Amino acid sequence: MASIREIARLAGVAPSTVSRALRNAPSISPATRERIRLVADAHQYSTDHWVQRLTVGRSRTIGVILPEVTTSFYARVLRGILEATRAANYHVLTVETHSQLLHTYRAIQSLVEQRVDAVLIANEHPDPIPLEAIQLLRKHGIVPIGLDSTPFSAPVDSVSTDENQLAETIVSYLMALGHRSIAFVGLVPSDRLFSRGEAMARIMRAHGLQTSNFVDTNTKDYRAFDAVHAWKQLLHAHSRPTAVITWEDRIAAKFVQSAAAQGIGIPQHMSVIGCANMEFAELLVPSLTTVEQHPEEIGRRAFALAQQRKGQGDGLPIQTITIPVSLVERASCHRPYIMHPSR
């Protein structure tokens, strides 16, 4: 079936003219309206369906903006969205932006043109989604929903991992093993990307632990993470940690690989724990203890929230839904050992 843009091109008019013609707007001449209908029929454009969509202001289409569709976490978020939308007879338009704000804004513009009901947005750029993008969506009656702690320049409804519970789960687990000197390795300076570093520091202080071993990787791309340098920082710290919490599993994997190359035993010399329970975590040697963030549930709840908001209109309090996590215990964590490598 042809798109509205294709019908507009074939009829020699603007997409907005096609929209007005198909809903019998009086501003469109009978001749132009007939020409557009003939083109639409010839290209199997479902005019009745679109008239209904444009008249009632509901497209039964959801836009989804993700940094990467190949990353297992976001692929699982999308799976949850697709499961929920399929059950509700909604369509999904997915855009991959690689966390570039310009690409994100252009994706929002494109989805506005396609008259989606809502846009679910995940972005890993440390700067927030611009105010103009949020205003553009709301101006057209489109519901914006933030996914997993994406920063916005104005309050929007969101569905995210419960970062406080995640931090409490990890810190309590390591303390139960006997660890009292614990490090955290974030992804960007001051952990602006997510509230994870802030939550970790708060929970550790609440348990009477020091937070001096917090290391920023100074990059928003895990591929540029220098695990060897991070190891040097931790092993030469004044209070050498016995356990390392990493921002997510890909950072943990690089830590584990680097440790093997340097003769550092995991978990003999250092326990390592990740976040997200990515598919490779159980394949590492040793297999990685991590936290399951249930991204499918994030996707399902985000769509449900979008449906709810679409029927409520503006002026209601912003909702922030947090999804509980669960610990996945494997082989990379152990009680602290007395001996450490002399490095």
Encode pLDDT of 82-98 as tens digits: 999 999 999 999 999 99
Name the least confident of 101-105, 212-216, 311-315, 325-329.
311-315
DSSP for residue 152: B
pLDDT in tens, 26-42: 788 988 988 988 888 88
Residue 289 pLDDT greater than 50, yes or no? yes
Residue 50 pLDDT greater than 50, yes or no? no
Query: What top-level class would CATH report for the domain 61-160+294-323?
Result: alpha beta
d(CA 338, CA 9): 73
Question: Same CATH fold, 163-293 and 61-160+294-323?
Answer: yes
Q: What are the domain boundaries of the chain?
A: 1-36, 61-160+294-323, 163-293
Residue spans of beta strands (DSSP E) within the chain = 61-66, 91-96, 118-121, 143-147, 157-161, 182-185, 214-215, 243-246, 271-273, 290-292, 320-323, 326-328
pTM of the shown model: 0.81
Query: Does the domain formed by 163-293 have CATH 3.40.50.720?
Result: no
φ/ψ region of 137 (left if φ > 0, alpha if ψ in -120 to 50, else beta) reads alpha
- Outline where 140-273 has alpha helix (H): 163-177, 196-206, 227-235, 249-262
Question: How confident is residue 220, by pLDDT bands cut at 50, 70 and 90?
Answer: low
d(CA 259, CA 55): 61
